[in-house]
């Protein structure tokens, strides 16, 4: 008698293969055959066995095969899961479906053969890539070992496979030809059966009973938990796991804020905890809540469902009404002293981080108040001074020394410090290079003059003001002029689509009655008594330039003239090179080349970016780099963020459409001399409601879908209130992953164990 045992996963076709093999053997000679599977509540992927006996006479055994002459493994991943080689007879043969070299398996048996059945089955289009049906290939390979007749095998395969008879038959031949092994198989059916009848296995029964008694006392199972005896975790091919993935709001925040976490906490009413989370990366929540273009909202997955979450509104609320525990200046633990030149968002953030890290830090600020562009360039109707003051005060409370009215340069201070960070921003307006530009007012200076010195630059009621540019400065200049009683018009050489200004700022400006003329640019200027004659020319859009925006091209002969009281240019800014002794240094993020006795770093607007939040992120980064440099530890900038949750990962079915709660905007017909903040804050109730609109992308919020849907009750809530998977029973069906609303789970081919 020949006894064969097969190991496979449910779905690979082994039970059919063994039925077909029995039919083939019955045709190879005058043989009795018997084949049957050992499975039960079988499911795709579960390890199963099948048995086959071939004899010349009656087969007097209907039990499973424990001492096979041939072990056939349909899936090599089972080798580590199931004792596939158990009971193999002395001199027995093993056939593995693998593409690996036989040398990997030599230790397991004297006679091992392999066949790349998965590869062959995929080539022949049998089954899917994740679960190829390898049965026909395995039959072909077995035929090779038992000296079978491939003509008979092909015929029986074609007659008995449920589908694709030709492909299956061809796969069996390919497999027959691709069996690799060492030595010859000794299982050649006829010769083997002529030489071997059913062999008696000699058992030592007394020994068996003695061993049985030695075992620990028999433990009664619990009748209500019969499944507890049947750990079905090894059926799993793919494994679900809870996985906190990156949310797009967080990954898109230039400051690095864990946006998802603070929104979640705010939605739960944990306002203090929420502001602590922001403060880990951003010391200016009240500012950013107001003036940031909200990179987080731009990436919010909720935009694909209804509207993005009003993250800015929540951040502003938290920044205005809650502050982290009053900072206590930490002891100075490091020897090195650090200077920061420029007290804007980048410089102050870097100073705060380094001070928190135990360094002595001094900030040199040229003006009478710190804050940089937040202080000078953003009008108070967008950013009231008190919001900024309290956030800077917290930085000072944390031990950062700010020296005001202290415009300095590296060469003056380098002797006193071990490292210098330059973050002087970009406060000098660019020139348009037109005739009589001396009559043009610089936009950034105009904003500074009014906010800091209350100097109106002679802009009076009903004056016509032409503002050149399309960025935030142009918008802020126009809105400031409006409040001075003038009639501002913005002239921009491209169209609204290309405007670099924050979209909602543009909307608010238009709503306030400010005109914007597109596709036009000044070419010259003449002073005519009190008026200015501004020569303009029309533009059209050509091919995209290096910024990706379409390049404006002059329309010949479209010249025209404007008569205005003031021309204010807001076409871009550059940095003041005083800090570098007026050497033209190209600043970049981090350590820069500058001849100094001390290491020089730069950050903020002068290095990259152009928004407050980017400057804050720049400050965080430069602080980390300076620390690494001083402590001589390797510093590596974070590269791309892996695995950000995108809308297609989410299951929107489980969310309700809920309108976004917008901040209220003051509408007036006349803003003259009204410098009150335009955008209003949200109430506590509104924060709770808006916070609860968060989809929790990639972060389990204990909705319980996985718990409810798990067909094996393999998900439970642990002592810490977390949903956990019991891998002893999880069969890897993947329903939990499919039904997770927020993509907080992964489903991969890997093993997992209970914690």
Partner 1 sequence: MNNTETSTKKKYPRHTEKVMKGNFAAAEAAKICKAGFIPAYPITPQTTIVEELAEKVGSGEMDAAYVNMDSEHSVFAAAMGSALAGERVFTATSGQGLFYAHEVLHAIAHFRLPMVVCNVGRPSIPWNIWSDQSDSLSQRDTGWIQFYGESSQEVLDTIIQSYILSEKLEIPVFVVLDAFYQSHTSENVWIPDQDLVNEFLPPKQLKGTEINPDKPIAVGGLVQPEHYGKFNYDFWIDINRVENLTNQIGEDFYQKFGRKYQAVEAININKDTKIILVTISSITTTAKGVIQHHPEVGILKIRLFHPFPKNSILEALKDVANDTLLVAIERNFMGDKVGAMMQELREAFYGERYFKMIDVFTGQGGKDVPPITIEKIIYKAKNNPEDVIWIDME
Selected binder of partner 1 within 193, 339, 398, 587 (CB under 8 A): 193
What character string, x for contact with partner 1 (CB under 8 A) and - otherwise, covers 1-20? x-------------x--xx-
Please state the closest distance from residue 54 (CB atom) to partner 1, in A: 11
List the one residue from 38, 367, 413, 541 that touches partner 1 (CB under 8 A): 38
The residue range among 178-186, 217-225, 490-498, 570-578 that interacts with partner 1, by the rule CB under 8 A, is 217-225
User: 48 with 38: CB under 8 angstroms?
Assistant: yes
Site for partner 1 in 121-140 (CB under 8 A): none
Residue numbers 52-71 binding partner 1 by CB under 8 A: 55-64, 66
- Told to check if 555 binds partner 1 by CB under 8 A, we report no
How many residues line the site for partner 1 (CB under 8 A)?
Answer: 49
Binds partner 1 by CB under 8 A, chosen from 2, 14, 22, 421: 22
Stretch of 205-213, 486-494, 522-530, 630-638 contacting partner 1, by CB under 8 A: 205-213
Spatial distance between the Cα atoms of 184 and 182, rounded to a whole number of angstroms? 7
**Does the footprint of partner 1 cover residue 415 (CB under 8 A)?**
no
604 touches partner 1 by CB under 8 A: no
Q: Which is nearer to partner 1, 12 or 282 (CB)?
A: 12
Q: Give whole-number Cα distances, 1 to 114, 189, 191, 201, in Å.
A: 24, 9, 11, 13
Phi, psi of 662 (to 5 degrees): -85, 150
The verdict on 26 binding partner 1 (CB under 8 A) reads yes
- Where does this chain touch partner 1 (CB under 8 A) — which range of 189-197, 523-531, 649-657, 663-671? 189-197
C-beta atoms surrounding 65 within 10 Å: 23
Collapsing DSSP to helix, strand or coil, 373 comes out as: helix
Pick one of 12, 35, 472, 613: the residue that binds partner 1 (CB under 8 A): 35
By CB under 8 A, which span of 26-34, 169-177, 297-305, 514-522 interacts with partner 1? 26-34
- DSSP sequence for 197-253: -PPPPP--HHHHHHHHHHSPPPPPPPTT-GGGGS-GGGG-SSEEEE--PBPHHHHT-
What are φ and ψ of residue 165, in 5° steps?
A: -60, -40
Q: How far apart are CA 668 and CA 671, in angstroms?
A: 6
Member of 80, 206, 556, 719 binding partner 1 (CB under 8 A): 206
Residue 566 belongs to what H/E stretch? strand 566-569
Which segment (208-216, 429-437, 464-472, 635-643) binds partner 1 by CB under 8 A?
208-216
For strands 515-518 and 111-115, give the pairing: unpaired
> Contact, 100 vs 79, CB < 8 A?
no
Nearest-approach distance from CB 60 to partner 1, in angstroms:
3
* Pairing outcome for strands 715-717 and 723-725: antiparallel
**Candidate residues 80, 83, 129, 205; the one interacting with partner 1 per rule CB under 8 A:** 205
Closer by beta carbon to partner 1, 195 or else 328: 195
Report, in Å, the least distance between residue 35 CB and partner 1: 5
Both tokens of residue 747? 């489903």
User: How far is CA 629 from each of CA 341, 591, 598, 632, 636, rounded to the nearest angstrom?
Assistant: 18, 9, 12, 5, 11
Mode of pairing for the β-strands spanning 180-181 and 111-115: antiparallel
For position 23 contacting partner 1 by CB under 8 A, the verdict is yes
Q: Which is nearer to partner 1, 43 or 334 (CB)?
A: 43
**Stretch touching partner 1 by CB under 8 A, among 106-114, 128-136, 188-196, 554-562:** 188-196
Applying CB under 8 A, which part among 35-43, 236-244, 363-371, 381-389 lies near partner 1? 35-43
Pairwise CA distance, residues 327 & 394, whole Å: 7
Instruction: Give least dist CB 41 to partner 1, A.
Output: 7
Give least dist CB 189 to partner 1, A. 13
| CB 38 to partner 1: min, Å | 8
CB closer to partner 1, 17 vs 150: 17
Residue 287's region, left for phi above 0, alpha for psi from -120 to 50, else beta, is alpha
Could you write out the three-class secondary structure of 119-130? Answer: HHHHHCCCECCC
* One character per residue 224-263, x = contact with partner 1 (rule: CB under 8 A): --x-------------------------------------
Given 3-state DSSP classes, what are the helix, strand and coil percentages for the chain, each rounded to the nearest 5?
Answer: 35, 20, 45
Rounded CA separation 5/687 (Å): 65
Give the x/- contact pattern for partner 1 in 660-679, rule: CB under 8 A. Answer: --------------------
Contact assessment for residue 47 and residue 81, using Cβ atoms and an 8 Å cutoff: yes
Shortest reach from residue 113's CB to partner 1, in Å = 24
**Contact call for residue 44 and partner 1 (CB under 8 A):** no
Kind and range of the H or E run holding 600: strand 600-602
Q: 690 by DSSP, 3-state: which? A: helix
CB of 20 to partner 1, least distance (A): 9
200 binds partner 1 (CB under 8 A): yes
Q: Does 194 bind partner 1 (CB under 8 A)?
A: yes
Quote the least distance from Cβ 19 to partner 1, whole Å: 5
| Cα torsion 495, 499, 504, 505: sign | negative
Determine, following the binding rule CB under 8 A, whether residue 201 of this chain makes contact with partner 1. Answer: yes
Three-state SS for 629-665 is HHHCCCCCCCCCCCCECCHHHCCHHHCCCCCCCCCCE
- Closer Cβ to partner 1, 40 or 557, answer by number: 40
Q: Nearer Cβ to partner 1, position 72 or 501?
A: 72
**Cα–Cα nearest to 664, from 398, 317, 157, 395:** 317
| Interaction between residue 440 and partner 1 (CB under 8 A) | no
Give the 3-state secondary structure of residue 299: helix
- Which span (30-38, 302-310, 373-381, 521-529) binds partner 1, by CB under 8 A? 30-38
Residue among 279, 292, 293, 322 nearest 684 (CA): 322
Q: Which residue has the tokens 């309700």?
A: 656
Give least dist CB 133 to partner 1, A: 19
Asked if residue 589 lies in contact with residue 602, where contact means CB atoms within 8 angstroms, the answer is: yes
Which of 99/199 has CB closer to partner 1? 199
The one among 33, 70, 173, 286 contacting partner 1 by CB under 8 A: 33
The residues, ordered by sequence, that sit 6+ positions from 704 with a Cβ below 8 Å of its Cβ are 723
Task: Out of 103, 107, 129, 223, point to the residue binding partner 1 (CB under 8 A).
Answer: 223
Say how many Å lie between the first and final Cα of the chain, rounded.
47
Which of the residues 474 through 533 are near partner 1 (CB under 8 A)?
A: none
> From the CB of 195, what's the least distance to partner 1, in Å?
6
Min. distance of Cβ 22 from partner 1 in angstroms? 4
**Do 613 and 295 meet the contact criterion of CB atoms below 8 Å apart?**
yes
Rounded distance between C-alpha atoms, residue 508 and residue 494, angstroms = 20
For the bound state, the minimum distance from the C-beta of residue 144 to partner 1, rounded and expressed in Å, comes to 21
**Location of structure tokens 């570098």:** 580
Contact range with partner 1 by CB under 8 A, out of 21-29, 323-331, 405-413, 720-728: 21-29
What are the phi and psi torsion angles at 32 (to 5°)?
-90, 140
Q: Nearer Cβ to partner 1, position 104 or 188?
A: 188
Between residues 51 and 284, which has the closer beta carbon with respect to partner 1? 51
Of the two residues 34 and 436, which places its CB atom closer to partner 1 in the complex? 34
Binding site for partner 1 (CB under 8 A): 1, 15, 18-19, 22-23, 26, 30-38, 40-41, 55-64, 66, 193-201, 203, 205-206, 208-209, 212, 215, 218, 221, 223, 226
């Amino acid at each position: 008698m020949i006894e064969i045992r097969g190991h496979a996963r449910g779905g690979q076709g082994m039970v059919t293969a063994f039925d077909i093999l029995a039919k083939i053997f019955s045709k190879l000679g005058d043989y009795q055959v018997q084949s049957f599977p050992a499975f039960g509540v079988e499911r795709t992927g579960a390890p199963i066995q099948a048995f086959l006996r071939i004899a010349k006479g009656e087969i007097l055994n209907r039990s499973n095969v424990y001492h096979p002459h041939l072990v056939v493994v349909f899936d090599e991943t089972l080798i580590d899961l199931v004792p596939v080689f158990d009971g193999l007879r002395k001199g027995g043969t093993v056939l593995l479906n693998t593409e690996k070299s036989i040398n990997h398996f030599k230790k397991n048996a004297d006679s091992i053969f392999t066949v790349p059945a998965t590869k062959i089955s995929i080539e022949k289009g049998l089954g899917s890539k994740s679960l190829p049906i390898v049965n026909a290939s395995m039959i072909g390979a077995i035929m090779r070992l038992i000296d079978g007749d491939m003509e008979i095998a092909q015929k029986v395969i074609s007659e008995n496979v449920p589908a694709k008879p030709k492909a299956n038959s061809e796969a069996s031949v390919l497999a027959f030809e691709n069996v690799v092994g060492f030595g010859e198989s000794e299982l050649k059916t006829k010769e083997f059966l002529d030489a071997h009848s059913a062999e008696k296995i000699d058992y030592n029964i007394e020994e068996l009973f003695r061993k049985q008694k030695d075992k620990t006392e028999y433990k009664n199972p619990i009748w209500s938990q019969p499944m507890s005896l049947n750990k079905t975790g090894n059926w799993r091919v793919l494994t679900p796991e809870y996985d906190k993935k990156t949310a797009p709001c967080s990954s898109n925040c230039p400051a690095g804020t864990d946006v998802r976490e603070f929104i979640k906490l705010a939605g739960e009413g944990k306002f203090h905890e929420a502001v602590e989370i922001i403060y880990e990366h951003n010391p200016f929540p009240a500012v950013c809540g107001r003036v940031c273009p909200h990179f987080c909202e731009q990436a919010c997955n909720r935009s694909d469902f209804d509207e993005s979450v009003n993250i800015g509104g929540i951040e502003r609320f938290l920044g205005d009404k809650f502050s982290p525990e009053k900072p206590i200046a930490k002891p100075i633990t490091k020897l090195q002293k650090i200077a920061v030149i420029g007290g804007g968002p980048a410089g102050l953030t870097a100073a705060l981080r380094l001070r928190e890290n135990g360094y002595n830090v001094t900030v040199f600020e040229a003006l009478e108040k710190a804050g940089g562009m937040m202080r000078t360039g953003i009008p108070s109707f967008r950013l009231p001074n008190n919001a900024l003051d309290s956030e800077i005060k917290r930085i000072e409370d944390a031990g950062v020394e700010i020296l005001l009215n202290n415009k300095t340069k590296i060469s003056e201070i380098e002797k006193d410090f071990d490292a210098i960070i330059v973050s002087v921003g970009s406060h000098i307006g660019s020139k348009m290079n037109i005739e009589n530009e001396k009559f043009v007012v610089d936009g950034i200076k105009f904003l500074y003059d009014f906010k800091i010195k209350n100097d109106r630059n002679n802009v009076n009621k009903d004056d016509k003001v032409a503002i050149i540019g399309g960025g935030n400065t142009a918008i802020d200049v126009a809105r400031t002029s409006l409040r001075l009683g003038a009639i501002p018009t913005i002239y921009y050489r491209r169209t609204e689509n290309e405007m670099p200004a924050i979209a909602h700022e543009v909307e608010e400006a238009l709503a306030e009655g400010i005109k914007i003329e597109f596709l036009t640019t000044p070419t010259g200027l003449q002073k005519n008594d009190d008026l200015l004659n501004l020569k303009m020319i029309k533009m059209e859009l050509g091919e995209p330039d290096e910024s990706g925006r379409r390049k404006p091209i002059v329309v010949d002969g479209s010249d025209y003239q404007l008569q205005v009281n003031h021309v204010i240019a807001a076409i871009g800014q550059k940095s003041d090179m005083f800090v570098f002794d007026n050497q033209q240094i190209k600043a970049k993020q981090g350590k820069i080349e500058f001849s100094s006795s001390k290491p020089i770093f730069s950050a903020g607007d002068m290095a990259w970016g152009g928004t407050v939040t980017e400057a804050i992120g720049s400050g965080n980064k430069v602080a980390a780099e300076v620390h690494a440099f001083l402590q001589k530890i390797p510093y590596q900038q974070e590269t791309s963020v892996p695995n950000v949750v995108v809308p297609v990962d989410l299951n929107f079915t489980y969310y309700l459409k809920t309108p976004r709660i917008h901040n209220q905007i003051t509408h007036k017909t006349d803003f003259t001399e009204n410098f009150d903040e335009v955008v209003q804050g949200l109430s506590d109730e509104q924060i709770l409601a808006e916070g609860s609109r968060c989809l929790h992308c990639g972060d389990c919020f204990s909705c319980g879908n996985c718990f409810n849907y798990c067909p094996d009750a393999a998900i439970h809530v642990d002592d810490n209130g977390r949903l956990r998977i019991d891998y002893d029973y999880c069969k890897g069906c993947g329903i939990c992953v499919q039904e997770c609303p927020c993509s907080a789970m992964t489903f991969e081919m890997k093993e997992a164990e209970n914690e």
